[in-house]
Amino acid sequence: MKILLVRPRPHKETIGLQSVMICEPLELMQLSAVLRANNHEVEIVDMILEKKPIEYFVRKFSPELVGITGYISHIGIMKEYAEIIKKIDKNIKVAVGGVHATVCPNDFKCEYIDYVAKNAEDLYKAANCEDTSVRYADRNLPKRYTDRYYYLFANKCALIKTSFGCPYNCNFCFCKEISPYKAREIDDVITELLQIPQKEVYIVDDDFLFNRDRLMEFYDKIKENKIEKNFLVYGRADFIAANEDILEKLSKVGLNSVIVGIEASTQNELDSFNKKSKLEDNEKAVRILKKYGIECYATVILGVDWDKKDFKNLYNYIKNLGLVFVNLQPFTPMPGTPYFDKYKDQLIIPYNEHEKWDMAHLVIKPEKISARRYYFEILKLYYKITMMPKNVIYMFKRYGVKTTLKLSIGAAQISWQYIKKIIRGR
């Protein structure tokens, strides 16, 4: 069977991070490996990197089945692709998948979609796969894209997943709804790492820094196999704060960046998210990462009850922590979380405008200031952080002029999207 696997281009209204990062479509590469092992002819198309429209690739490849993956913000685009495909040839089967299809499959009810895959096995069934034992992603596809994948300062970046699901239960996150936590054997992870040619590797586990014994085994096996990579991972502040010795060891075998959800600048907010961590953990974690030369990419959730004073307080908190890179996310009550039903009557962006449910738009009406003012405060805070003289000097020294300017141009593109929100007032 000829199968086309597609990652969609974001909607023009989506405030996406593709201006500063474009990662491999790992889920499609994993699907491709299994499908090819079952003698299917597979082509991957990454529409983020393509200029030609989807119909060009459908006509060129003439697939019997098209699989499309995406997030909540891609729902409209995925349905649009499905309609285009069916108009080209109504006999082509269309399947959609991804994390949102797992949590909210009914959002994909559409006359042009034949299958909603809640997991990879659903797609394998649609393709009549008998052997699903293949464990490693098909890293020969897509060759024409390989050198164009990057994450912020990590150029030519490859992805790997060493565990599935999240072991925690934060009430703003739907990761726990996707699958129970299950970790791969470290020997299996090492075997796959040895097949990855890229120096930069992004470990996309929901939380890589979780199990001390597993991380020690990872450290030992990386040294034993003389693997020389730079790793970017997700990790919780409380784990980092309580396990400095682990971070010290990992820093010696390539751990150079950690995405840390510090989430809030007050204990009350952390408690309301069921984060089960303390502000002191955030502060200690940042100190530890700095001590061992590990970059910290912090994420913060912005409250809908905030006013100008709260934004100012957050700025002071970030400044005191000495953070250089911070992702500011307006609170979004995502489907699959307890917050969705609680806030569904307070939306200023209707749920069916999925392209704006991107963790960057303000979907709930602010309680104390206008939406226009709220967006202005976000943009102002970003620039107050990034344009601090010491932060500018740090970026140029650590990453060089060319890479820093490239990131700055991408950040400016995101800023322009926010400026348009300020002008429109929503």
Residue 106, classified by CB atoms within 10 Å of its CB into exposed (0-12), middle (13-18) or buried (19+), is: exposed
Structure tokens at 178: 């996707």
Report phi then psi at 401, rounded to 5.
-70, -50
CA atoms of 163 and 175, how far apart (whole Å): 12
CATH 3.30.565.10 fits 149-163+179-302, yes or no: no
Mean pLDDT value of segment 159-184: 82
CATH 3.40.50.280 location in the chain: 2-126
pLDDT at 143: 73
Q: What angle do CA 139, 149, 97 make, to 5 degrees?
A: 65
- Is-contact 157 163, C-beta < 8 A? no
Structure tokens at 278: 């303390």
Strands in 198-243 per DSSP E:
200-203, 230-235
* Exposure class string for 277-290: b at 16+ Cβ within 10 A, else e: bebebbbbbbebbe
Structure tokens at 235: 């990790």
CA atoms of 215 and 218, how far apart (whole Å): 5
Query: Between the CA of residue 257 and those of 108, 139, 332, what are the distances in Å?
Result: 36, 23, 26
CA atoms of 230 and 331, how far apart (whole Å): 32
Assign 177 a pLDDT band (cuts: 50, 70, 90): low
State the pairing for strand pair 200-203/182-183: unpaired
Question: Is the per-residue pLDDT at 179 higher than 80?
Answer: no
Assign 24 a pLDDT band (cuts: 50, 70, 90): very high
pLDDT at 167: 82
Residue type (1 letter), 314: L
Reported as type and span, the H/E element at residue 3 is: strand 2-7
CA atoms of 177 and 111, how far apart (whole Å): 27
Assign 18 a pLDDT band (cuts: 50, 70, 90): confident
Residue 110, classified by CB atoms within 10 Å of its CB into exposed (0-12), middle (13-18) or buried (19+), is: middle
SS3 state of residue 109: coil
Strands in 15-164 per DSSP E:
21-22, 41-46, 65-69, 93-97, 115-116, 150-151, 154-155, 157-160, 163-164
* Exposure class string for 342-376: b at 16+ Cβ within 10 A, else e: ebeeeeebeeebbbbbbbbbbbbebeebebbbbbb
Percent of the chain residues past pLDDT 70, beyond the cut: 99
CA atoms of 202 and 210, how far apart (whole Å): 16
Return all residues near 42 (Cβ < 8 A) that are at least 6 apart. Answer: 3, 4, 5, 32, 35, 36, 138, 141
Percent of the chain residues past pLDDT 90, beyond the cut: 76
272-296, pLDDT tens digit by residue?
Answer: 888 888 999 999 999 999 999 999 9
CATH 3.20.20.70 location in the chain: 149-163+179-302
Which fold is adopted by the domain 2-126? Rossmann fold (3.40.50)
SS3 state of residue 320: helix
Question: Is the per-residue pLDDT at 170 higher than 80?
Answer: no
Structure tokens at 274: 């069921």
SS3 state of residue 160: strand
* Exposure class string for 126-159: b at 16+ Cβ within 10 A, else e: bbebeeeebeebbbebbeebeeebbbbbbeebbb
255-274, pLDDT tens digit by residue?
Answer: 999 999 999 999 999 998 88
